[in-house]
Chains A and B, each alone.
Chain A
Amino acid sequence: MPISSFSSEELSYEKVSLEETSGEVLLKERVIDYALNKSNIPLISQLGRSQHGFVNNLTRRKAWSSLLESQLQLSSSKTCEVADSKTINNNDYNDDSDDDNDNVVHEDENQVQLDVKRSFVSVRDVHVRDLLRQVLERVIISVLRKYPQLRYYQGFHDVVSVFVLVYLGDEILASGTDENLILKYDEEISLKKSVEIFTLLYLRDFMMDSLEFPIDQLNIILKIIKKKDIKFYNKLSLGQIEPFFAISSILTIFSHELSPIMDNTYNETLFGIFDLIISTQSMNVPLLIYSNILLGVKDQLLENFEMDIIHFDNKVDLVHAIIQKVILQSIDNDRMWKETMINTRKMNYDKSLISLNKSMLNKYSVLITTASGDAYYNHCYTEKEVMEILRKEIQLNEKRNIEKAQLKMKKSTNSPELGLINKTSMTLAVSLLIGAFAVIISLQRDNSYSTLFKNTGDSLNNIYEYYTVKLVNRSTYVWKQPLESILTYLKSNTTS
């Protein structure tokens, strides 16, 4: 189905012939090499932000490492190491003795194994797939063991698998002899370091103990759409819908949808997304991309909306279902991606995003601190700074979880039955009072009235007091306490 709603921007792409493109790419590769040799970080990030990103995986992994290491200075003694590092030829990294966490199993490792077992499903070669899975597992486990305060989420493995392919995909494809393995493990050390930095600076919000902060991020998508196209926003009732439809795209940075396959063109799009994120030090990129995709496939969405509205009488399900359906249909549409990336590059510089983020997110969110897109020139965090941000963000998340649990409790005690009492508390209180008098009268028949009346006098005064003071304030419990005292008294009186 043609994408009709794109602007004329894409035409510039159409005009570029294949030879021109490959010439451009070759030239760009040389410029990237030059920038890498000179360690010119501003130039490297400039190159990653433009068309074709870092061009191929060889330049890409060098560029990612340079950029990421310029964004976070890990203390050398804490270089990410694996517990089973015996097989690694690691002369440069032999000071792992002071890192005790490496051998302590992380609470989420079981889930990691379940997901790793199901990773790289599109890689057909069993040997290659096994190697990729082994590396993937080692990298994830090493990061989790080093930072036990981070929680693993299903989807983190998809993100890390992108890094595995960029850093080791070519080598693993070419492997077969032991000599190659040594080269590969050297790459594995820089792979781990990059994943570690990317996790701390970009994915932190997703690795808290709940989905609260990721959901906050998803809500930004709705705000962007509202700002860009209010009619479309209203038509789909996006103001009343929680944007869970975007959760897998955002949490996996599209690596779940564009699941990376070796020798597949999808990879260029996917890797290009990561190029843009890392070069701009901005986690706005996935949110912008998602918003731009929705705006780009607007016509299909509206068409499906009209078509399916009779099948669903629940708008939440309808919108969720059609978005998922249309996005899946468009995911391999090259033209849609090119247009989306052009728009995203432009919007990523939009300063209004910063204030939007500040109004919607916790103040330690990656979108406000370490991956805000606001400080891409030479901003380098120290490990200490990032650990402090992480600690505070975890604290804030815990606070939020507690608040949420309290709210839930409040809601469940405020069940419909109790609401009824609230409304009719006066009537109920009066009928209970009548009931209480009936008990008193029945006791009178048993000749216990005279003693009782004397003693219940206080309780009756109590009731009167409560009525005059509390009933005015419409308290639900207005009748409870004085009646309790009567009933307790009566109980003790009748049993004695």
Chain B
Amino acid sequence: MLQFKLVLLGDSSVGKSSIVHRFVKDSFDEFRESTIGAAFLSQSIKLDEDDTVIKFEIWDTAGQERYKSLAPMYYRNANAALVVYDITASDSLSKAQSWVEELKNKVADDKLVICLVGNKLDLCQEDSGKRSVEISDAKQYADEQGLLFFEVSAKTGEKVNDVFKSIGESLYSYKKEELLSKSEQNGTNTHGQVDLQLQKPATSDPTSCCT
């Protein structure tokens, strides 16, 4: 089993917790209470390739601006970030973009997998007039920045699992590369080995984050 740390970021009320609950508990509440600080959940998936099991350690953060100063504590050491916006609220895309920028500036790991996710697809399927972020615009931005990109509905569950699967696949391919280069170095064949630690070691410096 491979374990990865994933953090959710995005504006208030875009549906971060709803996406996580759809993924972890396959449930949806029309009104999910606000997240204060951050919530921790975990969920495993099986990839088609090699039957690899991937466990996500998920940190779901609060969306209000004032909690932003806590975010580094959650994205530090993260292997993946899910940056969420609401496709019916154009402001939320620019918020998502500023999160992407912050991640790129602050997270040293160039193998951090960032996935841009537009939520509330169901609302636009009911009434196309509700859409205020065009899929092509968001997709173009994601391509430019080298992000994974999905439009999902936490309510219907559409594409939610695909998001995590695709993140898992990216992480797994990085992991395999790392393994290969390691095995070349050591001259041993590690094919098939999955007992790995991908996370970076904990920093013992308490001021390294959020100060």
Contacts and interface: CB of A to CB of B under 8 A. Distances in A.
Interface centre among B201, B202, B204, B211 (most CB of A within 10 A): B202
A156 to B, nearest CB: 10
Contacts, number: 95
Contact of B67 (A211, A252, A325): A211
A313 interface: yes
B152 to A, nearest CB: 20
A316 interface: yes
A259 B33 contact: yes
What is the interface residue range for chain B against chain A?
Answer: 35 or more
Interface in B1-53: 3, 5, 12-13, 29, 31-40
B209 interface: yes
A313 B34 contact: no
B169 interface: no
A121 B37 contact: no
Contact of B36 (A155, A209, A325, A407): A155
A242 B39 CA distance: 16
B35 to A, nearest CB: 8
B204 to A, nearest CB: 6
What is the interface residue range for chain A against chain B?
Answer: 35 or more
A240 B206 contact: yes
A316 B40 contact: no
Interface stretch (B69-77, B119-127, B129-137): B69-77
A311 B44 CA distance: 13
A115 B57 contact: no
What is the predominant secondary structure among interface residues of chain B facing chain A?
A: loop
Interface in A146-161: 151, 153-155, 157-158
Interface string A229-254: 00000000000111011011001100
A321 interface: yes
A321 B36 contact: no
B36 A247 contact: yes
A206 B36 CA distance: 13
B62 interface: yes
B66 interface: yes
A332 interface: no
Contacts of B156: none
Contact of B210 (A242, A248, A256, A320): A242
A324 interface: yes
Interface string A94-124: 0000000000000000010011011101000
Contacts of B35: 154
A37 interface: no
B162 to A, nearest CB: 25
Interface in A285-314: 311-314
Interface string B57-86: 100001110110110010001000000000
Given A244-B70, A317-B5, A404-B211, A117 B37 contact: no
The 6 closest A-B pairs by CB, nearest first: A248-B36, A247-B37, A314-B202, A155-B36, A154-B64, A248-B37
Interface of A: 111, 114-115, 117-119, 121, 151, 153-155, 157-158, 209-211, 240-242, 244-245, 247-248, 251-252, 256, 259, 311-317, 320-321, 324-325, 404, 407-408
22 contacts: A111-B12, A111-B64, A115-B34, A117-B31, A118-B32, A118-B33, A121-B32, A121-B33, A153-B64, A154-B12, A155-B34, A211-B69, A242-B73, A248-B36, A252-B36, A256-B33, A259-B33, A313-B197, A314-B5, A317-B202, A321-B57, A324-B40
Given A256-B36, A314-B77, 14 more contacts: A117-B13, A154-B12, A157-B34, A211-B66, A240-B204, A242-B73, A244-B73, A247-B36, A252-B36, A256-B33, A312-B199, A320-B40, A325-B40, A407-B211
